[in-house]
Homo-oligomer: A and B are copies of this chain.
Amino acid sequence: MAELVSLAEAVHRHVRDGDTVAIEGFTHLIPTAAGAALIRSGRTDLHLVKMTPDVVCDQLIGAGCARALTFGWGGNAGVGSLHRFRDAVENGWPRPLALDEHSHAGLVNRYVAGASGLPFAVMRGYVGTDLPAHNPTISKVTCPFTGEELTAVAALNPDVAFIHAQRADRAGNVQLWGIVGAQKEVVLAARRSIVTVEEVVDTLDRRPGDVILPSWVLSAVAVVPGGARPSYAAGYYERDNDGYRAWGETSKTRESFTAWLDGVRSS
C-alpha cells in the first residue's frame, strides 16, 4: 500500500545509491520535481531509465547523479539538444555516462516484459539497424511454429519508478489521464514506485481514457502541485514551451548549468 509522504521522504525511503531508477511520462506528466528531489537527496551512481530523457534526466546527468542511461530519444523536443546529456556522452562531463540505447518500441517492450513477469518480450524491431551491435539487451528469438526469426528484448525491472499523475485519493490510489504513455507498465515493472500528484481528492471520479493505479502496487504518493513543469498535466496546466526553451539556454554551458544546480541544491 502506498503511503502519503513528502517527496523528500519518499526518495529517502525508497531510493538507494546505485539503483536503477526509471522516470516516465511520455511528453506529458513528466515528474521533473522528482528529479530535483533526487538531486537534493544526494543519491548517486543511478542508472536512469526514460524513453524520452527530457529536462529531468538532463538535470540529473549534469548533476553527476547518473552512471548510466537507458533511453530511446534524448532531445529537447521542439528546441534542440539536451546539452548536459551530450556533454556527458561526448566529453564525459561531469562523469562518463554508459548508454543502453533503444528505440521507443524496444524500450516500452522491455517494460511490458517486466510488468508481465517475463524475462523478455518479442517484437519486430531493430532489424537491419546498428543498434543491436551496441546493446546486449537486444537479441533474436526463433518462432517455434513458423521458424521465423524475431527480435527479443530483455525485461527491464527498475528498482524504483517515478511517475507524475493528476491526482490520488486518501488511500493512495492514483489516477492519470490524457497521454498515458508507459506509466502503468513502468510502475508494474518496478520493485518500488513513487508517484507525485497534483492533488489529493476524496474520490477519484473516473474520466474517459484514464488509468487507475491501485495503492497496493505503489510504494509512496507525494503531493507536488506543478510537479510536472515544464511538462504539463492535462486539466491542470499547459506545457511551458518557454520553459523548455529556457532550459536550452540554462543547460548550454557548464557554467550556466552549475549556477542553476547550486540554486537547486541550496533550495
Please, which residues of chain B bring their CB within 8 A of the CB of A134? none
Q: Which residue of B lies closest to A116 (CB)?
A: B123
Which of these binds chain B: A28-36, A201-209, A224-232? A201-209
CA distance in complex: A152, B152 (Å): 13
Which range holds the interface residue count of chain A?
A: 20 to 34
Residue A2 at the chain B interface, CB threshold 8 Å: no
From known contacts A137-B145, A140-B144, A144-B140, infer whether A119 and B150 are also in contact, taking CB-CB under 8 Å. yes
Task: Check B139 against A144 for contact (C-beta < 8 Å).
Answer: yes
- Known A208-B208, A210-B208; judge A119-B148 contact (CB<8 A): yes
The reply to whether the CB of A143 lies closer than 8 angstroms to some CB of chain B is yes
Task: Flag whether A117 is at the interface (Cβ < 8 A).
Answer: yes
Give the chain B neighbours of A137 by CB distance below 8 A. Answer: 145
Contact B139 A119 (CB under 8 A): no
For window 73-91 of A, CB contacts with B under 8 Å fall at none
The DSSP consensus for interface residues of chain A is loop
| Bound complex: CA A182 to CA B168 (Å) | 29
Q: Which of A102-146 contact B (CB under 8 A)?
A: 117-124, 137, 139-146
A154 in the interface (beta carbon within 8 A): yes
In the A-B complex, the 8 residue pairs with the smallest Cβ-Cβ separation, listed nearest first, are A206-B208, A139-B144, A119-B143, A145-B154, A119-B146, A120-B143, A144-B152, A119-B148
Q: Known pairs A120-B144, A145-B155, A206-B208. 10 more at Cβ < 8 A?
A: A118-B123, A118-B124, A119-B145, A119-B148, A141-B141, A144-B152, A145-B152, A145-B154, A208-B208, A208-B210
